[in-house]
Amino acid sequence: MAARARLADYLELTKPTITALIVTVAVGGYFVALAGPVNLRVLLLLIGLGAAASGGAAMLNHYLDRDLDERMRRTRGRPLPGGRIAPASHALAGGLLLSALGIAGAAFLLNPLTGLSILLGSVTYVVVYTMLLKRRSSWNIVIGGFAGSAPALAGSAAATGHWTAGALALALVVFLWTPPHFWSLAILLREDYAKIGLPMLPKMEDPNYSARVVVVSAALLLPATVLLLLTAPLLPAVAVALAVLVLLFVALTAPLWRGADRRWARAGFGFSGIYLLGVLLALVVNGWLAHPTLRLGF
């Protein structure tokens, strides 16, 4: 039981939910860019190596933020501040090992551009977001959002060896999705963040202003979705699904223009995950229907 609990703690350090989303973005990028049969070997390597790199970056984030996590009510029960994994250097070593495995494996087993794409995402999340911006600037989420976009580029590189226009448009959608997704959550947790001095909203001292910025940032997904519709080869039903999803997301965030109402912040945050997952699954289905032939590639 103790070994199982310890394994569960290490698994928690990899942020499985976020890692699963990152991998799904990469798979979405793969299918958006795909021009021929699905190569099962390439797809499985993309999933496995992408998960390793994402899990490694998450472990490094846990290690670097362990002092903050100890001071926040929401995070003080995590494995490092909770003392369930000690010394903390175990998380550092595991994060470096998984990151190196994912990045180097992608570069050698897929192609260098795939490895570079994963590297850019990891560096953005660990160095730019966690180390440089998170504690200092309210731009942390905006700039750090590229970490979630990079997997779409990795998927495109794995599928074609280059970044396609459709994958770049998908990366833009994910990039613009990140601020309204996280800022909606930050409205709910504003007091917790303010207590330890983390600038996780556009204006920590003015939640109503921040709520209006959420609305504007969500609205930016409309032209980004149009760009995706114009650059990605989409079936009509898929194009309609993407349009409906973005309109619903914008509609659910729109009431925040009147103020930082926690009910609407919670609704916007809750639907934001459904929105992105719906977009990615629609793109995967679209790519699979457009290229139903499966090549093992082993």
Decide: helix, strand or coil at residue 39: strand
- Which pLDDT value is given to residue 217? 96
Q: What is the 3-state secondary structure (H, E, C) of 224-272?
A: HHHHHHHHCCCCHHHHHHHHHHHHHHHHHHHHHHHCCCHHHHHHHHHHH
Q: Phi and psi (nearest 5°) for 295?
A: -115, 125
195 CB-contact burial (10 Å; exposed 0-12 / middle 13-18 / buried 19+) = exposed
Write the single-letter amino acid at 246: V
**What is the pLDDT tens value at each position of the chain, 298 positions in all?**
566 768 899 999 999 999 999 999 999 999 999 988 899 999 999 999 999 999 999 999 999 999 999 998 888 889 999 888 889 999 999 999 999 999 999 999 999 999 999 999 999 999 999 999 999 999 999 999 999 999 999 999 999 999 999 999 999 999 999 999 999 999 999 999 998 999 999 999 999 999 999 999 999 999 999 999 999 989 999 999 999 999 999 999 999 999 999 999 999 999 999 999 999 999 999 998 887 776 776 6
- Which pLDDT value is given to residue 288? 87
Asked whether the bond before 236 is cis by omega within 30 degrees of 0, the reply is: no
- Which pLDDT value is given to residue 298? 60
- Which pLDDT value is given to residue 1? 56
Cα–chain-centroid distance for residue 99?
Answer: 16
- Which pLDDT value is given to residue 4? 72
How many C-alpha atoms does 75 have within 13 Å on its Cβ side? 19
- Which pLDDT value is given to residue 76? 87
Residues with Cβ < 8 Å from 222, sequence gap 6 or more? Answer: 246, 247, 250
pTM: 0.95
Helical spans, DSSP H, in the chain:
2-13, 16-33, 40-64, 66-71, 89-109, 112-123, 140-144, 146-160, 165-188, 190-195, 207-219, 221-231, 236-253, 262-290
First and final CA of the chain: distance in angstroms?
38
Q: Are 35 and 15 in contact (CB under 8 A)?
A: no
- Which pLDDT value is given to residue 151? 98
For residue 221 the two structure tokens come to: 């997904």
Decide: helix, strand or coil at residue 292: coil
